[in-house]
Structure 1
Amino acid sequence: MAIRRMRLALSLLCVLMTIGTGTASDEPALLALKAGLSGSSSSALASWNTSASFCGWEGVTCSRRWPTRVAALDLPSSNLTGTLPPAVGNLTFLRRLNLSSNQLHGEIPPAVGRLRRLLVLDMDHNSISGVIPANLSSYISLTILRIQSNPQLGGRIPPELGNTLPRLEKLQLRKNSLTGKIPASLANLSSLQHLSLSYNKLEGLIPPGLGDIAGLRYLFLNANNLSGELPLSLYNLSSLMMLQVGNNMLHGSIPSDIGRMLPGIQVFGLDVNRFTGVIPPSLSNLSTLTDLYLSDNKFTGFVPPNLGRLQYLQYLYLVGNQLEADNTKGWEFLTSLSNCSQLQEFVLANNSFSGQLPRPIGNLSTTLQMLNLENNNISGSIPEDIGNLDIYAFYCNLEGPIPPSLGDLKKLFVLDLSYNHLNGSIPKEIFELQSLSWFLDLSYNSLSGPLPSEVGSLVNLNGMDLSGNQLSGQIPDSIGNCEVMEALYLEENSFEGGIPQSLSNLKGLTILNLTMNKLSGRIPNTIARIPNLQQLFLAHNNFSGPIPATLQNLTTLWQLDVSFNKLQGEVPVKGVFRNLTFASVVGNNLCSGIPQLHLAPCPILNVSKNKNQHLKSLAIALPTTGAILVLVSAIVVILLHQRKFKQRQNRQATSLVIEEQYQRVSYYALSRGSNEFSEANLLGKGRYGSVFRCTLDDESALVAVKVFDLQQSGSSKSFEAECEALRRVRHRCLIKIITCCSSIGPQGQEFKALVFEFMPNGTLDGWIHPKSSNLTPSNTLSLSQRLNIAVDIFDALDYLHNHCQPPIIHCDLKPSNILLSEDKSAKVGDFGISRILPKSTTKTLQSSKSSIGIRGSIGYIAPEYGEGSTVTRAGDTYSLGILLLEMFTGRSPTDDIFRDSMDLHKFVAASFLHQPLDIADPTIWLHEEENDADVKNESIKTRIIQQCLVSVLRLGISCSKQQPRERMMLAEAVSEMHATRDEYLRSWMVGHEEHSTVS
């Protein structure tokens, strides 16, 4: 009996020793986990079966010390659904659990509290509900806790988290539905570097103790219901780099001595709160500041006069305060800001600025994209020196006459002074702006007098809007010289006389609006010679006679309004007239037409009564044979004379174009500059045309010319789409267009081309897929170069989607459409199939419903487009994610290795966490980073690179999810891309310090 008891005791001891030493198997726990996710359609769990060792299952990494225990479970972006079963708590040797970017729902089971060895817990972007379990505080070794973007996750932040997680570096709980107060115990997290609680429903005060976390770098508390004052202790955080507390109910003022606080701050956001007082002048001592957001508060007084010390400042938002300046004081900051060489957006709208806009405004940075001064009390005309800026958007309340000195603004290609209080006549000097090529908008002012005949000098102008003024007189015939004009808005004026016959020269015109004028006479048949006319508005005038039947031959015309005139006769029934509504013809004396118009029938002539009279008239009209010969001869002579005159006129015009600066470029200038578009100057070919290197201005200006192959179906639409998109955009990361050419070639063929700035380093595709077999640092990209390029691309897309009005969807993001400048900064190009999202107003140059169709490029097209979905921002985000993965892995989405169900997204998702170095582009290792020499410790180098790759690949995966709703929002992705790049660059410095300490 004693022997039996001894054997039993030994057996139990062996079991306990087995469990304690980790030789038990985790396979049952994994199979139970799979069973809990049995509703998942994920292919990631297909390998989870007993035919192979569980250590080889997808996403599973076993411990080296205890080979039968799971050390990491990485299944991000794996299409997992269902709820997380309690069996996950049996993986007690787990050090990393990453189930981010799936479709998990239900609550986090309390059993996860048993994972005491856990270092990383990442459950971002799921549909988890319930509350955050308090027993997560048992993870005493945890360094990263990331449970973000789970909108149904509510409840309070467990105070226990702040008491027992001494090694926690990142606590990221943003974009949930958390309530209650921020626990004061979080101040105990002495290792915390990143705290993100934004976009929740938190309330109450910000704990002052957060300012005692010495290593805190990123603090995001924006978009909650926080109140009270911003603790002074936060201003004393010398490590803080980003502070965002916008969109709360905070009050108080900025400390007057802030200039000696926050020495490393880059982003400082207090916007949409209730802060008061003045903006301290000492704020200009925060030398590292790049983004300053103080909008929608109650700041008063003057803008600090020495903001120009912020040499890295890019975004300055002071909109919606009570800031002031007048003719005597307060505008000094404009002179100072001329030192901010990187300033991109400067918004002072909705304040109390008054007086005239001072002259120093012209000294602002040439990188400035937006200057917004609307809804102030600024008066007077635009200072002459504003022409030194290269801005797209300029908003201001102006009054008085337009100064003739505007004609000196030689760089201006868009002039928009709409919706102001300008009066007087339009100076002819405006029409002598040779650079003015995209749009002239003077609408809705109080301008009067005639339209100067010099308007015909704008031969490259694409659109003009003079509507809503008091212009009078006749529309000058010279307007017919604007042959590339696509939209002409002259409605709501007092123009008189008839429609100029010369309008038929505007072959590219798509919209003509002459509504609500005093025009009279007949509608000329020559309008039918405008081949691309789509919309024709002639309502509320004094036109008489019939509607020209020739208009029904315009196959592109889809909207016609001739209401409220004095027209009479029969309405045609073909072409656009098939779809007219009664509103389009009401207020005339018209008859018949399609039945839907409900017009009276036209009278029928009495043929017998009029027959004799008709014969008499015919007899009188018949001339003698001799007279016919004389008449025919005269006509021939006149036609020959006109032909010679026209040829001579064309030769003179061509000569003038060649002699002028290249903004007025001709076919011949482009042909000559590219050696007749020779193969030697060919830079690349695309779907709708070819790009050539071209030299203009006596070999001093190197440009790139995109020549459209008009024989290719859709190329004309592509030209129009690209013109329309590029007319609207202005950003440092978008390819800059110089002008366009719509002309006739030497054989009389139609010729269309766009002229862009020349990018000496070609396309991104040539750098990540070099053609040369001899790979060196000179023909490949380093990791830091790729990060900088990625940041540029993200910024460009963010501008197109979120800051451009109306928003633009690119539709064809891929490496061959990314151009690299001399310093390898990136610019997005090729807007040939871009889409402009529709606005509430109907006044657009083109309909966004282009007939080009959704095509894009194979491998980059969002999956939903293949199912007929409409264009959305999420489609571009998908392409952006694939592009990012390609940049850092060096693998094209059309690579031969991607067959069956495997694609680039799944390839990266399966390996990026535990094998990022293995899937990274090997050419990265050809480069020695700028600070490599300072970091001799190879393990530190590897750690820095590995952390960076994991972050950027994770971002690419989040952007390229299969379902649009699962993709990361672009604004958030832009923030993460910047943070990843900045963290990488800072890590070299930290790595150098660590190595020095170790040494």
Structure 2
Amino acid sequence: MSFLRALDLSSNWLRGEIPASIGRLRRLRTLDLRVNTFSGALPGNITSCASLTGMFLSSNRLAGSVPAELGDTLARLQVLDLNNNSFTGPVPASLANLTSLRQLSLGLNSFAGSIPPGIGRDMAHLEFIDLCDNRRLSGELPPSLYNLSSLTSLDVGQNALQGIIPPDIHLQLPRLRYLGLFDNQFTGAIPSSLSNLTDLQELELSENGFTGSVPSDLGRLQSLWNLQLDGNRLEAGRTEGWEFMDSLANCSKLEVLVLGDNNFTGDLPASVAKLSTTLQMLYLYDLGVSGTIPSDIGSLVGLKVLWILNTYISGAIPDSIGKLANLTELHLDNNGLSGLIPSSAGNLTKLIKISASSNNLEGSIPKSLGKLSSLISLDFSRNCLNGSIPKEVFELPSLSLILDLSHNSLSGPLPLEVGILANLNVMNLSGNRLSGQIPSTIRNCMVLEELLLDSNLFQGSIPQPLGDIKGLRVLNLTMNRFSGVIPDALASIHSLQQLYLAHNSLSGPIPADLQNLTSLSNLDVSFNDLQGEVPKEGVFRNLSYLSIAGNKNLCGGIPLLHLDPCSNSSPVRKKNNKRWFKYSKVALATTGALLFLVLLTAAIYISKKPRKNSQKSQPLAPTITGEHQYERVSYQELSDGTKGFSETNLLGKGSYGTVYRCTFTEDETTTAVKVFNLEQSGSTRSFVAECEALRSVRHRCLLRIITCCSSIDSQGREFKALVFELMPNGSLNSWLHHPNSSGEPATSKNTLSLTQRLDIAVDIADALDYLHNHCQPPIVHCDLKPSNILLAQDMSARVGDFGISRILSESACKTAYQNSNSVVGIRGSIGYVAPEYGEGCAVSTLGDVYSLGILLLEMFTGRSPTDAAFGDSLDLPRFSEAAFPDRVLEVADPNLWLHLHSDDGATRSRVQECLLPVIRLGLSCSKHQPRERTPVRDAAVEMRAVRDEAYLMFAASLAVDMEGENGVRATRGE
């Protein structure tokens, strides 16, 4: 064995450690153990194999560090291939001594630190370098690497490297064929000298900080087939910067072109359609470009993948798109496209995925799509499509991933052919005008996991055959016209996790067997006409995920539901006088509050003088004062000011009412009016709660109530409304999540900067501190979430919606749920409500602290606590904690970077310094145990200190956007 020259055991899936005895093979020249499952460390005595010229160890599970002396002893080594393992530690500096090396492959490992400066200095034969995807390699590339005239491939992508591309790179690396610098921190301009690398075939510069224009003469690279420039700050505008696109038409071998996520504006040049017919993949996304899709886009007959996403491109989809016969993926989402879906799309018979969501497409869905026999995914959601869904779409048995036609104006019945979609995973037809009954053939969709039919006009009974879809996880039939009983068959779907049946006309009992579904975590049967006893086990025990409101004839259930006992239950009053007395106090307190409000309104009506005309510049006088003086406003004034409560003045909808913009005709003062839906259970109590909570509080960070109206509407029905100061910048929720959900591209104008978020966080913490510690008695908000945080003209925050707030009297502090306004006995919204509330604990200020913690994590990660990515084993606090502290930038909201003028190491370090204490505070406030949470007084102090430190840090670097047309603040004094 000592005379062995070559050892080739590749691709045998061998396991265990590499035996140390391998070091005795002194004459071994080739060691090939590629594609096995060897683990453990690289034997130290492998350096004794002094005759080795090739070491191939890629695609194993080797770990630990590479012996530091490897380069000193294996002087004859020509190939060192350690790719795709788990090696750690630094890249050995001794590798610079391998003067015979031709190939150095260390990619897909976990090497850290800088690349040794000597590598490349005396390596005259080195042709191939692969250091890709180590993630923790940092610093600049050694200058010696740029002096390797023999080098043909340099791949250092997916690391933390920085620096610039030398302007004379064509002289230093004349034979270069592949340059991969993607996903690093390189900056500066892309040098025009790259166009002189006549052998260059692939140029991947994605996800860096490159700036300036793309070199205009890239078309000189006749061998170029792969060009990826996405994720930088490259520029092109209406008058200049697009010359490179004209030039690329000369690249006759071009197959891949990726230009997304840059500062490209102006009209998309028509020269896009003049690129080589060899082009197979074209990615244009997250760009500020406008104009239209070139009418002759069909000339790119080689295209297999076309992405035009998140741009301002408008106009019709060209009919010539039907000439792209090789197309397998077509994605046109989140643009401004209009007109009809061209029937020529039916010619794309190789198409696997097609999507054009969030546009303004109109007309009917062409029947020709039924010819797309390879289609697995179809998404035309959030458009203006109308007419019926052609049965030809349902006759595509290949559809297996998703069929999403939601949020259009589609009408007509669901065809019987729906049962042909036997392989479909997700069907989303929400938000249309579909009618009729759900056909029983739906049972044939055997692998369906999500069925979303909410917000339509379906009627009849919920079909029993739904119970045959055994893998169903989500069923949403909310806001239809279903009648009859909830079928018992639904209780046989053991995989069911979310069931939504609210706002229908269902009657009869809730099937008791639903409590046996161990996977069911969300159940909403609210606002039906259900009767009988509420089950007590399973999901019916978890009040955070159960909604039964609006069913007046339900009874029983767990005590926290506060429902009347069922008729066959024994009387409670005689058996438990104390409990009866507690609920009697609740009734008396509620009645007293209502009586107080009626008397107060009557007194005001009698004593009020006619309102004088005021100047236009003066707002309505404050009406809730320490003496409880209200300025009366009538129903007619509110109706006139909102144009009959028209949709054009609609600002939003909440749990108990609808908010409108109201301009009073007398003085043209503009306010916000919250009109309570008195048909919903609990809305009157919510009205009283807001009046009680806000009648005496005074703080700059609380939404100011101007007056109230308790009257009769034009149809003789009871009417209640509150008038608030208008917040022109809407809710915090719309700034955190609207750009991602509406199709509108995220920009610095519709997202929040880091310091803006810090300002808002300070305002929220100050508001809670005031409510908890400076109000007597203290007030618990109970529903702190982004949609209840409103933003003023200067982007300062106001905490609003006190509809389920709680005033903590001394007796209330001792009695759980006294004066509760919650139908199900729990206060707050899913994702924000404190966990102890679901266990029956009393309302406390620490419940608000939990909501504050979740809100802080959401503000700075951009992730909602109800994000679909979070499952049973993950939530927002655990998601944030997993990245804290070392990887906090990985979970930061990507929109933060839209407000920064650079993405260099210093800037990232400053951002991390700001994020760390905020995420730490968010985690501390959202602890599961209430006693472990940071008191709100301390949280407010800490939040203010973080904000002030950030001002000093970013003001010096000029990295924060100054005040703009939206009234955005850079700094704001108190």
Superposition TM-score, scaled by structure 1 size: 0.47
Superposition TM-score, scaled by structure 2 size: 0.48
